[in-house]
Chain A
Amino acid sequence: MPYSYTLRIATRFQMSKIAIISQPDQGVLIDVGGCSTLQEATQHLTSTLQISSEFWAGMNVDLNLGALPLNHNEVSQILAIAAEVGIKPHQVFAESEQTRAALHAQNVPLGQGKPMNFSVGPFVCDSSHPHADKTADASACGQENQSVAEACTSESEDASGSEAATTGDVPAEPPAKAAPPPPPAVLYLRQTLRSGQTVSHKGHLVIVGDVNPGAEVVADGDITVWGALRGIAHAGMNGNTQAEIRALRLEPIQIRIAHAIARSPDRPRKSTQQRIGPETARVVNGSIRITANNPD
């Protein structure tokens, strides 16, 4: 592919917050990481990619979404724009865990680590990056968990068990140049989910932070919230009735496990009762029961 041609495009679109970077042996990297919102990204991407659809045909294209937090639909939106000009990304890089989960849900090959820059060689795995590191850890230990999860009926006490597992001392994945890394079986999120935000994951979900009313967390496995769960949580989405939902403060609007659904009482808890510790919701005889996790 003509190197000079791509360089020209790269300089031409530097203004538009999208960089197109040629990678001598690997093809082309389209970098959307400079955009701060989805709207910005889609706008620039649309205008940038319409150079010529023939230009992209058969080219090995990688996509970098940077730190954009995107949900399922937003990811499809981006991919649809690329597909319009015949681009099916070889791999997609993303720093946001939410985006990675959404990409994984759509079976898009995830790029490992950080995408290359001009100064750095191709596909150097930047292990100093905290997010990249965490995902690698999570995916590595997640493989063990997954096999256990099927038959998991034991009463795991609270989040500490899962947390230890995710942050445990596991050797990082080797820099992936060959096959795309396996999806993380545990998604570990360290943030507060606010109204309107959704996280969906095919595996267990651990959130260190609060889930506010109006936010939704969905997982095939368990959902553990190290904080207050005040929004909607749906565990065992694929029909797994063994899935559990636990939180330090379990005050959800609704919880759903597999096909069971429970809603909060119409009258809120009285203030005298408010000091309630961690609780776990699970399905007993087809309906959702909540039990307290008392340390003593």
Chain B
Amino acid sequence: MSGRVIVITSGKGGVGKTTASANIGVALAQTGVSVAMVDMDIGLRNLDILMGLENRVVYNLVDVIEERCKLRQALVKDKRLPNLCLLPAAQTRDKTAVNADQMKTLCNELKTLFDYVIVDSPAGIESGFQNAVAGAEEAVVITTPEMSAVRDADRIIGLLEARKDEISQYRLVLNRIRPSMVKTNDMMSVDDVLEILSIKLLGVVPEDEGIIVSTNKGEPIAGTDNTRSGLAFRNIARRLRGEDVPLMDLDELNQGWLNKVVKFFNPARA
């Protein structure tokens, strides 16, 4: 079996790389394929916390690379999904602990074991990022509708384009969008972002307080909750698998039954 290696990256920190990695991993695994998630943020590892697997980590990626353990020993199986595994980063080391060649070898090995390998890249464009994309064939660029995040995403896309030989396609996920603010012109819209980045859109994830709760609980929202953001990540996973899923209508987001009643009586407010 030869799986697909997909790197999740953004350039800017705090836009939701790790959250997206966890949710895409869970959503993909729910469709029945086998998935490995690799945390490349060595020294600042978070993916295990989001997955609620922190207390099960014994060996890590650096242990595998430095041959202190076998790859299978370091893979942590998810609590709910038996076909989902996590390869955690080392917390007590830093980005210099691995190099690009070692990552390529590791990704190639993981490819033979899993259908999908999701690599969570660290922020920045330095060695950590270079290592994360080293073994990847596809990339998902995460950004938020802010000027600074879009600028950094643009830089990242430029770097990915420079690796055309290895990375066959890269697509965008626009995270934390607030339709109400877009409507009042206080936030960039999906089209605004796409116009700047001119890149294929993989999905749009609305802002959701539930993400914070799910992060603290260690249960990715895509696996547990029926919220819009969870649905957005499940749609992204389906699109990654090649299904043609239409973008969800973000305008419906703020329309609880109360809003609908208000709109009925006063259409101008909508």
Chain A residues within CB distance 8 Å of chain B:
71, 73, 195-198, 213-214, 216, 253-254, 261, 263-264, 266
Contact = CB atoms under 8 A, between A and B. Distances in A.
Interface in B36-78: 43, 45, 52, 54-58
B227 interface: no
Residues of B contacting A: mostly: loop
Nearest to B90: A196
Contacts of A214: 45, 91
A29 B30 CA distance: 62
Contacts of A264: 55
B69 to A, nearest CB: 14
Contacts of A71: 92
B92 A263 contact: no
A214 B55 CA distance: 10
A254 B57 CA distance: 9
Nearest to A72: B92
Nearest to B46: A214
Given A263-B55, A263-B56, 7 more contacts: A73-B93, A213-B54, A214-B45, A214-B91, A266-B52, A266-B55, A266-B218
B163 interface: no
B55 to A, nearest CB: 4
Interface residues of B, number: 13
B183 interface: no
13 contacts: A196-B43, A196-B91, A197-B92, A214-B45, A214-B91, A216-B92, A254-B55, A254-B57, A263-B55, A264-B55, A266-B52, A266-B55, A266-B79
A213 B43 CA distance: 13
Nearest to A254: B55
Give 5 closest A-B pairs by Cβ, nearest first. A263-B55, A264-B55, A198-B92, A214-B91, A253-B55
Contact of B58 (A73, A198, A261, A266): A261
Contacts of B93: 73
Residues of A contacting B: mostly: loop
A266 B55 CA distance: 8
Contact of B54 (A73, A196, A197, A253): A253
Contacts of B79: 266
Contacts of B57: 253-254
Contacts of A266: 52, 55, 79, 218
Nearest to B93: A73
A214 B48 CA distance: 11
Contacts of B58: 254, 261
A71 B97 CA distance: 14
A71 B43 CA distance: 14
A105 to B, nearest CB: 15
B97 to A, nearest CB: 9
A213 B79 CA distance: 20
A261 B18 CA distance: 28
A246 B134 CA distance: 43
Contacts of A196: 43, 91-92
B90 to A, nearest CB: 9
A229 B93 CA distance: 21
B91 A195 contact: yes
B81 to A, nearest CB: 15
A261 B54 CA distance: 14
A214 B45 CA distance: 9
A196 B62 CA distance: 14
Interface in B210-265: 218
A186 to B, nearest CB: 23
A216 to B, nearest CB: 6
Contacts of B92: 71, 196-198, 216
Contacts of B56: 263
A216 B54 CA distance: 13
Chain B CB within 10 Å — which of A71, A73, A196, A261 has the most?
Answer: A196
Contacts of B218: 266
Contacts of A254: 55, 57-58
Nearest to A71: B92
A71 B92 CA distance: 10
A237 to B, nearest CB: 14
Chain A CB within 10 Å — which of B43, B56, B92, B93 has the most?
Answer: B92
A213 B92 CA distance: 11
Nearest to B58: A261
Chain A CB within 10 Å — which of B52, B79, B91, B93 has the most?
Answer: B91
B166 to A, nearest CB: 30
Contacts of B52: 266
B76 to A, nearest CB: 11
A253 B218 CA distance: 14
A261 B55 CA distance: 11
A254 B1 CA distance: 35
A264 B58 CA distance: 13
Contacts of B45: 214
A95 B52 CA distance: 39
A139 B46 CA distance: 38
Contacts of B91: 195-196, 214, 216
Contacts of A253: 54-55, 57
A77 B52 CA distance: 34
